[in-house]
Structure 1
């Protein structure tokens, strides 16, 4: 089954494509206020290291226009704006954006632009941004190919695309340990911290249904990007994907 068929994956379910956006929206509305706490709990704080590494690869510069898609709670944007870049934080879920705006106010950060957007149908003009980032969000998009095409459209020539996303680790032994942890313990952690096992069960299942690293790299190339690259972390448990618009 492909992302261009009439049905798409929602965790381990196959559902009508037109229903996915609403169902994913309900998941993130449910977990928004505890999202960052849960990230710490599920990754033992490693998500912070991964995001730091991701932003180092982006190399934000003062004066650049950067779109941080699915940036909800601001984790990536806060790191990008330190370099003096002009960052637009976009997310389809207003509850996630509200959490990010509140966090920005607490930090005294008022330079970010917050914009509710669907990654598949961005309202921004062609060739507007110098860089496009998306961290742990692309797998929740209904039509990944459309989101990638929109990323390519809004980037300037010479613009760069960076995506941080879970994948499948290739390390022998570790994969089995992680599978057991994620399927059995993460929903329980979700219940204890966020009072919501089902949403976190979906998030884990969505990782399993996401295309393997070589296939996702091919999708990025098919969207028009060149010089694509994949940087596996922890054997591919997480990967940084990148490409250029030339």
Structure 2
């Protein structure tokens, strides 16, 4: 007797390990539960402090002046890093929503929003990137920074991004990529696999979350393959820009009218 196939039975990768698709989200949640309060330190470790500059460049591409009542969605942005930068750029009537599946990360973001006096302009929602709790054609811009590689079904996440954007809306994704400078790739790989988990253990008392994050970067699709996935979701005028020798890339696409 055959059983109906469910994609929840499929295997996927969790770092370099293979796990059932249905288990990946819980494993990812556990990583971010462990690092939520030290997330900025973690990003500084993983990028040598460069993540702050990358995020500035990234948010510089968000056109917040396109119209009154600008609506922005930042996915997997629990601690508010991207949202607060967008809020600084946008008019006071802008509506910024931070969505994250992890409650610990959102708690950090809410605390930081209160400290900055932005809690009336930035809303925090706990939900899944693969099933966004918003109507079609709702947002002017969608951003996701260092989060897409943690989505178990990336194509489903991209399809959802397309759905909730208004026609003419822009998708922007900042993610670790493949180093494109000969020699630098080997140095970066050695740093990633040897230094980051060791320092993670020293700073946060646990090397495992950092090991997963390094491995997840290695498993992420190549920049041109990922662009193909963005186009498959329906986006047009797609492209990517490599920063810092290809350590990260900014991907973008527009929802056609």
Q: Is the 8 A contact 2:9 2:20 kept in 1?
A: no
Q: 1:197 aligns with which of 207, 210, 235?
A: 207
Secondary structure at 2:221's aligned position in 1?
coil
Q: Is the 8 A contact 1:152 1:224 kept in 2?
A: yes
Q: Is structure 2 residue 180 aligned with structure 1 residue 183?
A: no
1:63 CA displacement: 2.5
Q: Is the 8 A contact 1:71 1:135 kept in 2?
A: yes
1:198 CA displacement: 0.2
- Report the counterpart of residue 141 of structure 2 in structure 1: 131
- Report the counterpart of residue 93 of structure 1 in structure 2: 102
Instruction: Write the distance in 2 (CA, Å) between the matches of 1:58 and 1:5.
Output: 38
1:93 CA displacement: 0.3
Q: 1:79 aligns with which of 59, 73, 85?
A: 85
Secondary structure at 1:58's aligned position in 2?
coil
The size of the alignment, in residue pairs, is 244
Q: Is structure 2 residue 26 aligned with structure 1 residue 22?
A: yes
Instruction: Write the distance in 2 (CA, Å) between the matches of 1:45 and 1:207.
Output: 17
- Report the counterpart of residue 4 of structure 2 in structure 1: none
Per-residue Cα deviation, 1:110-149 (whole angstroms, up to 9, x for no partner): 2101101100011100000000000000000000000000
Per-residue Cα deviation, 1:10-65 (whole angstroms, up to 9, x for no partner): 00011100000000000000100001122123322110000000000122236210
- Report the counterpart of residue 60 of structure 2 in structure 1: 56
Instruction: Write the distance in 2 (CA, Å) between the matches of 1:107 and 1:228.
Output: 34
Instruction: Write the distance in 2 (CA, Å) between the matches of 1:106 and 1:188.
Output: 32
Instruction: Write the distance in 2 (CA, Å) between the matches of 1:190 and 1:35.
Output: 11
Q: Please, which runs of 5 or more residues in structure 1 have no aligned partner? A: none
Question: Based on CA coordinates, which of the two structures has the bigger radius of gyration?
Answer: 2
Q: Is the 8 A contact 1:169 1:236 kept in 2?
A: yes
Cα distance, 1:43–1:71 mapped onto 2, change above 3 Å: same
TM-score (norm 2): 0.92
Q: Is structure 2 residue 158 aligned with structure 1 residue 148?
A: yes
TM-score (norm 1): 0.96
- Report the counterpart of residue 178 of structure 2 in structure 1: 168
Q: Is the 8 A contact 1:70 1:91 kept in 2?
A: yes
Structure 1: 4+ residue segments shifted above 6 A: none
Q: 2:115 aligns with which of 106, 113, 121?
A: 106
Q: Is the 8 A contact 1:31 1:199 kept in 2?
A: yes
